[in-house]
Amino acid sequence: MQLTFRPAHRVDVAAVVALLADDVLGQGRELGDLAPYLAAFDAMRTEGNNQLIVGVNADGTVLATYQLTLISGLSLSAARRAQVESVRIASSMRGQGLGHQMFADVEARARAAGCALIQLTMNQSRTESRRFYESLGFTASHFGFKRALV
């Protein structure tokens, strides 16, 4: 199956939230109320370098999603980075090569934006995801830290 990746529309937000909730970790942390997600989507659209991308099949069904944030910085000789977050593929579609299609899209968008590298974080419990990212050439080169503010 071939997916087409495109910027998400506001009408896609419900499908994206369903993908976010479609795993063990997401089941316990995603809400049923779409209002905060719609507000966040609207905020992302005004930020410019923060995009929600969806992967759709031939009939337009959203089967994959990721968030791409372009970050300009001074380190690494002023390298621009592509930060990838909230990577999801519908659980019923995993293992069919859609992740490879997704990351080909990520790389194409990052290169087009002049990025020197792609970076991402993932929950340590996602061992299959780690193997997938390593198969794409990602290296676990840094420790990541998070601190909840709410």
DSSP state letters, 12-54: GHHHHHHHHTSSHHHHHH--S-SHHHHHHHHHHHHHSSEEEEE
Segment 119-145, tens digit of pLDDT = 998 888 787 888 999 999 999 888 888
Averaged pLDDT, 90-98: 93
Query: What pLDDT is recorded for position 39?
Result: 97
Buried b (16+ CB within 10 A) or exposed e, 41-64: beebeeeeebbbbbbbbeeeebbb
Query: What pLDDT is recorded for position 128?
Result: 84
Q: Report the percentage of the chain scoring pLDDT > 90.
A: 77
- How far, CA to CA in Å, does 60 sit from each of 5, 63, 132? 11, 9, 26
